[in-house]
Chains A and B, each alone.
Chain A
Amino acid sequence: MAAPTLAVRGLVKEYPGVRALSGVDFEVQRGEVHCLLGPNGAGKSTLIKCVAGAVAPTAGEILLDGEPLPVGNPAASLRRGVATIYQELDLVEQLTVAQSVFLAHEPRRGPFLDLERMRRDAAALLTRLGHESIDPRKRVGELRPAAQQIVSIARALSHDVRLLIMDEPSAILDDGEIETLFEVVRRLTADGVAVIYISHRLDEIRRIGDRVTVLSDGRTAATGLPADTSTDRLVELMVGGAPQQLYPDRPRTAGDVVLDVRELRRLPAVRSVSLQVRAGEVLGLGGLVGSGRTELLRMIYGLDRPDAGEVRIDGRVQPPGRPDRMIAAGLGLAPEDRKSQGLLLGWSQTKNVSLADLTRFERGLLNVRAERAAARDQLRRLQTVPDDPDRIVRELSGGNQQKVVLARWLLHRCRVLLLDEPTRGVDVATKAELYRVIVDLAAAGVAVLVVSSELGELVGICSRIVVMREGEAVFEVDGERASERELLRHAVAPTDSADLIEEVR
């Protein structure tokens, strides 16, 4: 039998004071989609960085087609056919599609760029992926995220790729776009490319994956499992204990209206939206990516000024465009992109938690002891790992970074919490924890507004769900009675809804 495309044996990676990988073994066969599953901090990122050559492992070996892969040499890994598509799209928005595909290995004629060939080859790659409709001359910034991702894949293919690593490719896509992505993956595997697919969405793993490897605490907990292994079993392997209940009981009792949004408008994204959130309820805001949900949240919070409409907290109209006043009125926001909007990555957990509440620690000068103690209390309440308030946030996993953002608003004792994709890029076990935190906050009387592209989680935790489509709230349903299918039907435009639903199912 031929050697597997990728064989990883006894891989160990130590950082000063931390053992990120302590013995990982797995194999990826030609033409298979091998899913990599594990809680945040289990070592998935470190593992793929080792394979991609971005970091050098401390011990162990990596064989590509039976030949050892040079370690810590990204250029060599790429030359041998290992391409990686990272979680955050790393495209330059100002470049054209063709320029992006051939970035850093542009075809040349003599000393000059061969623009014609570049455009032609880019078009050929996009056609191979079934996306000939993407114009190679268009600027990447003008494309939707889904199309940008196709460009990233085309870039990977522009090298002679044997192994494609995809780190949470679906995180920024809505359900319809994910299916398009899967179509591309299927074309690649039919050509014999091996794919390592990292995702926290178990349903996706079932749809696209052939086999699954579960990492837990830097080790292989199980490898080569069939993709239809039960959820309970996978979760159990990940957490190394009894299966957990993913969704807590949804909050039932609702008090007075705290957040009252009246006919808020900011064209083109938001046409007119009114909604109310009561103390003690979790209101879900569903819809496709681009339906105006994030823009609405930013407007409510005062980050963008509305063209028309107003936001009331406890019945009082708030000045537009003033996040500081909104925070003073009791609002908190956990933004969509924690790294670029939520956190100061080079700062300690403590400083990130206290930033919105420094006045509380002012006695003339800041009382940094009291600050640290207060931050630690909130971080412990959320069981943030590691339990070290001085730890730099950049070194934390995605789920724990999200907890740091939440800890800030817990410390603030905010009364309205706006959460934009709170569980994006978070593993199942941490998701369950975050759901518990959200529901507990509501139970304590906080009005919570959650934006999510995962319809399942909205159905799982929300008291009420509002669906947005093209900048308007088009549908509202009680959380108990909601179904994903119905939400999706309202989220897609009426004209093409039938097709899309079929495609997604």
Chain B
Amino acid sequence: MTTSVEPPEEREAGTGALLRRRVAGLQLQEYALVLVVIALFVAGSILKPDTFPTWDNVRNMLTQASVVGVLAIGMTFVIATAGIDLSVGSMVAAAGMFGGILVDPEGSTLVFILGAVGFATLLGSVNAIAIAYGRVVPFIATLAMFSIARGVALLLNDKLPVGLLDLNGGSFGDPAPFSLLWFGTGRIAGIPISVFVFLGIVIAGWLVLNRTRYGRYVVAVGGNREAARIAGVPVRRTILSVYVMSGLLAGVAAVLLCARLGSASPVSGNLYELDAIGAVVIGGTSLAGGRATIGGTFLGVLTFALIFSLMTQLDLSTEVQQVVKGAIVLGAVLLQRPEARL
């Protein structure tokens, strides 16, 4: 049958149209975000020429962004499955506290890291099982964990923080390699270790999402669960895995945060879930699932970091910052194409 083969010249036109569609489609938001990041940096440099465009400030911004950035990568996978994880901020606090009491009064950095990451992974697994096997709606399951993990964090040391300076193995300004504070404040070639950790997780996240079978399954489950199942995708296992991963990355974020502060606090990580979800949404990942971009999330994290650094330097209060943060997230969702919304 040769009823409907396209003539070759139309095929050429098709390639051009494809390019235009690509630019106009998924990646438009990413290109636009690059411009936003540049514009914000320029704006900051004009408004605060002495303090904003300095290496110190950039380093500071990136260090602070790396904690939420790690969470945002996990959140990208969760949202790609059309899910949500509201518990990451609470898990960060619980993970830090759990690691903290393990090494209090005495212990090693390795025990702290394994304890924190392991405990957060455990909490994430509770989310995962409730959602994948208990069929609890992700919003509710992780909202419950939002409360549970915060409560656990407060209970672990009777609402008190745990000091971690004993794990230092050096002085605050010059921590020994692979000591806890080194992960928070140490540098290689002037670049903070936590930034290396964040960038490493961004690259790994990109590869997993775009260049592995697993990543394809994650997006397929979010795009059309029934169609994914019919194509042989292990739907439950995939959903299970993203919440476990989100927990694990909350543990990593907890390590970075505690390492920077030199202590674990039961009230840390407050509203980090909003920052992470905001960065993902600004990046262009669809809240309805089926479309996810790690590059977008990375740019979303940078955008948030720049905005808040700028607002802080302009002496705007944290209350104002919260209002702005919420407004940006709302605006980003409104800008998504209609079919990508919830």
> Count of chain B residues with Cβ under 8 Å from any Cβ of A?
38
Name A335's contact: one of B2, B213, B230, B291 (CB within 8 Å). B230
Instruction: Let me know if B32 is at the binding interface, CB within 8 A.
Output: no
Check B231 against A355 for contact (C-beta < 8 Å): yes
Q: In residues 201-254 of chain A, which contact B (Cβ within 8 Å)?
A: 239, 241, 244
Chain B residues 2-21 with CB under 8 Å of chain A are 2-6, 10-11, 13-18, 20-21
Q: How far is the CB of A397 from chain B (nearest CB, A)?
A: 10
* Assembled-state Cα–Cα distance A323/B15 (Å): 36
Residues of A within 8 Å of B15, CB to CB, are 388
Flag the segment in A73-81, A287-295, A341-349, A491-499 that touches B.
A341-349
B-contacting 9-mer, from A24-32, A263-271, A361-369: A361-369
Q: Does A274 contact B (CB under 8 A)?
A: no
- Is A345 a contact partner of B3 (Cβ separation < 8 A)? no
Q: Counting CB contacts under 8 A, is A90 at the interface? A: no
Alpha-carbon gap, A436 to B3, bound state (A): 13
A359 within 8 A of B: yes
Q: Contacts A16-B20, A340-B224: A333 and B14 contacting too (C-beta < 8 A)?
A: no
Cα distance, A432 to B291, chains bound together (Å): 35
- The CA of A278 and the CA of B81, in the complex, are separated in Å by 39
B228 within 8 A of A: yes
In contact, A358 and B234 (Cβ under 8 angstroms) = no
Q: Does A197 count as interface, using CB distance less than 8 angstroms?
A: no
Contact bitstring A289-319, B, C-beta under 8 A = 1, else 0:
0000000000001010000000000000000
For the complex, is A390 an interface residue (Cβ under 8 Å from B)?
A: yes
Q: In whole angstroms, what is the CA distance A429 to B291 when docked?
A: 34
Contacting pair B4 A39 (CB below 8 A): yes
A385 on interface, CB distance cutoff 8 Å: yes
* A408 in the interface (beta carbon within 8 A): yes
* Contacts A16-B17, A17-B14, A346-B291; A432 near B213 (Cβ below 8 A): no
Asked if B18 contacts A390 (CB within 8 A), the reply is yes
Contact residues, B168-217 vs A (CB, 8 A): 207, 211-213, 216-217
What secondary structure prevails in chain B residues at the interface with A?
A: helix
| Residue contact A346 to B3, C-beta cutoff 8 Å | no
B226 at the interface (CB under 8 A from A): yes
The listed residue (B4, B212, B216, B224) touching A385 by CB distance below 8 A is B4
Task: Tell me, yes or no, whether B1 is within 8 Å of chain A by CB.
Answer: yes
Give the residues in chain B near A239, CB-CB below 8 Å: 3-4
Pairwise interchain contact B3-A429, C-beta atoms closer than 8 A: yes
CB of A489 within 8 Å of the partner chain: no
Q: Is the CB of A359 within 8 A of B18?
A: no
A327 near B232 (CB under 8 angstroms)?
A: yes
How big is the A interface, by class?
A: 35 or more
User: Does the CB pair B18–A343 fall under 8 Å?
Assistant: no
Q: In this assembly, does B229 line the interface, its C-beta being within 8 Å of a C-beta of chain A?
A: yes
Q: Inside 8 A of A436's CB, which chain B residues have their CB?
A: 1
In the complex, what residues of B have CB within 8 A of residue A341's CB?
224, 226-227, 230
**Binary flags per residue of A1-41, CB closer than 8 Å to B gives 1, else 0:** 00000000000000011100000000000000000000101
The answer to whether B1 and A432 have CB atoms under 8 Å apart is yes
Q: Chain B residues with Cβ under 8 A from A433's Cβ?
A: 1, 3
A17 with B6: in contact, given A303-B229, A333-B230 (CB under 8 Å)? no
Known contacts A241-B3, A344-B223: A366-B230 contact under CB 8 Å: no
Q: Which of A41, A340, A392, A408 contacts B226 (CB 8 A)?
A: A340
The complex places the Cα of A386 from the Cα of B229 at a distance, in Å, of 27
Shortest beta-carbon distance, B233 to chain A, in Å?
7
Are B230 and A365 in contact, CB atoms less than 8 angstroms apart? no
Chain A residues, Cβ within 8 Å of B231: 327, 355-356, 408
Asked if A383 lies at the interface with its beta carbon under 8 angstroms from chain B, I say: yes
- Give the residues in chain B near A503, CB-CB below 8 Å: none
Q: Check B20 against A368 for contact (C-beta < 8 Å).
A: no
- Give the interface centre of B217, B220, B230, B233 by most chain A CB atoms within 10 Å: B230
Compute how far the CA of A110 lies from the CA of B213 in the bound complex, rounded to whole angstroms.
58
In the complex, how many angstroms separate the beta carbon of A283 from the nearest chain B beta carbon?
20
CB neighbors of B among A451-499 (8 A): none
Of A17, A345, A368, A429, the residue contacting B4 (CB under 8 A) is: A429
In whole Å, how far is A433's beta carbon from the nearest beta carbon of chain B?
Answer: 5
A415 at the interface (CB under 8 A from B): no
Interfacial chain A residues near B13, Cβ < 8 Å: 17
List the B residue with the shortest CB-CB distance to A367.
B211
Complex: A358 Cα to B213 Cα, angstroms: 6
Those of B296-342 within 8 Å (CB) of chain A: 339
Q: Shortest CB–CB separation between residue A294 and chain B, in angstroms?
A: 13
Of the candidates A323, A346, A368, A387, which one forms a contact with B230 in the assembled complex, judged by CB atoms under 8 Å apart? A323
A93 within 8 Å of B (CB atoms):
no
Asked whether, in the complex, the Cβ of A386 is within 8 Å of the Cβ of B6, the reply is: yes
Chain A residue with minimal CB distance to B216?
A: A358
- Inter-chain CA distance A387–B14, complex, in Å, is 9
- Known contacts A340-B224, A383-B2: does B18 contact A391 (CB below 8 Å)? yes
Q: Could you write out 17 A-B pairs with CB less than 8 Å apart?
A: A16-B17, A17-B14, A17-B16, A239-B3, A301-B230, A328-B232, A343-B227, A344-B227, A346-B223, A347-B290, A355-B216, A356-B231, A365-B207, A366-B211, A366-B212, A430-B3, A433-B1
Besides A387-B14, A390-B18, A429-B3, 19 other CB < 8 A contacts?
Answer: A16-B17, A244-B1, A244-B3, A303-B230, A340-B224, A340-B226, A341-B224, A344-B223, A346-B223, A346-B339, A355-B232, A358-B213, A362-B212, A383-B4, A383-B5, A386-B6, A388-B15, A391-B18, A430-B4
- Interchain residue pairs A-B with the least CB separation, the first 3: A17-B17, A327-B232, A358-B213
Q: Which residues of B contact A (CB under 8 A)?
A: 1-6, 10-11, 13-18, 20-21, 24, 207, 211-213, 216-217, 220, 223-224, 226-234, 290-291, 339
